[in-house]
Chain A
Amino acid sequence: MKRQNLLLICLAALLVALPLYLVPAPEAGAGGEAGEAFAGTDSQAQAAIAALAPDYTPWFAPLFEPPGGEVETLLFALQAALGAGFIGFWLGGALMRERLRRDTQAANTQGPRRAD
């Protein structure tokens, strides 16, 4: 199980890291500025909509938009931290519970023998 997990985590990391080396840098945009590498598919879809329905105008705007990329990164990090924090909490509790269970079991099996 441990080896399987280790292998899977390495494979997942590899799958995420490989594109960084394999994908060539995007061509410069029309204005000469460098294109964004690894742009989000959500914004690509937005561009596709603009191509399919040039007349479409969004009829509702987000109530709140993160002011700038840094704040957006902060909020995404916060979301991930909340999730990872809870998983860590569970894992720590589970490990401790298992250790305590093993300790009490060991104590119980040793106890009567000593009384013999």
Chain B
Amino acid sequence: MHIMEGFLPLPHALAWTAASAPALLWGTVKLKQRLAAAPQERMLLGVATAFAFVLSALKLPSLTGSSSHPTGVGLGALLFGPLAMVPVAFVVLTFQALLLAHGGLTTLGANLFSMGIAGPGIAYLAFRLLRRLGLAPAVFAAAALGNLTTYVVTALQLALAFPDATGGVFAAFIKFAGIFALTQVPLALVEGMLTVVIVNALQRFNAEELRLLPLGQARESN
């Protein structure tokens, strides 16, 4: 989902940066307040961040014959709410932009929007809606959908920047979605499965802390 450095025209790069910056600022402030109020949650945030680090470092082969990354941010969105994942995704994306030439500084805003805002947002929403199906199915669907959303948004971002000469934005979107979203389907399933695994582990070892988080609260309200 990394839009390469310099591959968004300047107005698009600026617009996506403007869209992401407030969320990053707000997410960082909220996360700081939260950790100040509940320092025991630091370990869980570390696990969520570490999970995103591992998964987004893995380029997995897909049935379409190409490979792509999971994002790993769904877990944190379920634990801390979607906004908390904006700074986490920002750290991951900055690391990859500066050291790996994956993504870039000019496209950081757009990439942060897809991986740090849209993906976690949909993951959180899906979890809320599907919670009644049981914890594991809801976590699975939320993480998988969040992953897929990130790539659909990337395809949309590229389609808006590079509309097809005859078919316009829609034709370009179909083209980019064909590259990103299709490849992503099996990888989204993998991310869903691995997220369930780690949620199972968190439930066993950190049940007390989980009770205060969205993941546990949803359980009580149902």
* A binding-site residues for B, Cβ under 8 Å: 1, 4-5, 8-9, 11-12, 15-16, 18-20, 22-24, 26, 37-42, 44-46, 48-49, 52-53, 56, 58-66, 72, 75-77, 79-80, 82-87, 90-91, 93-95, 97-98
Contact = CB atoms under 8 A, between A and B. Distances in A.
Interface size class of B (residues with CB under 8 A): 35 or more
B176 A91 contact: no
Interface of B: 1-7, 9-10, 43, 46-47, 49-68, 95-102, 104-106, 136, 154, 158, 162-165, 172, 175-176, 179-180, 183-184, 186, 189-190, 193-194, 196-198, 200-201, 203-206
B4 A46 contact: yes
A19 B201 contact: no
Given A64-B101, A83-B57, A86-B46, A48 B176 contact: yes
A45 B154 CA distance: 10
B208 to A, nearest CB: 11
B74 to A, nearest CB: 14
Given A37-B65, A77-B57, A95-B205, 10 more contacts: A4-B200, A5-B196, A12-B189, A23-B64, A38-B61, A40-B59, A58-B5, A63-B98, A79-B96, A86-B46
Contacts of A53: 162
Nearest to A1: B200
Given A8-B193, A38-B65, A49-B7, A62 B104 contact: yes
A67 B183 CA distance: 28
Chain B contact surface mostly: helix
5 contacts: A8-B193, A23-B64, A41-B66, A41-B180, A46-B4
A44 B180 CA distance: 9
Given A40-B68, A82-B53, A56 B5 contact: no
A42 B111 CA distance: 12
Chain A contact surface mostly: helix
Contact of A76 (B47, B57, B66): B57
Contacts of B104: 60, 62
A79 B175 contact: no
B176 A16 contact: no
Contacts of A85: 50
B162 A5 contact: no
Contacts of B189: 12, 15
A23 B63 CA distance: 6
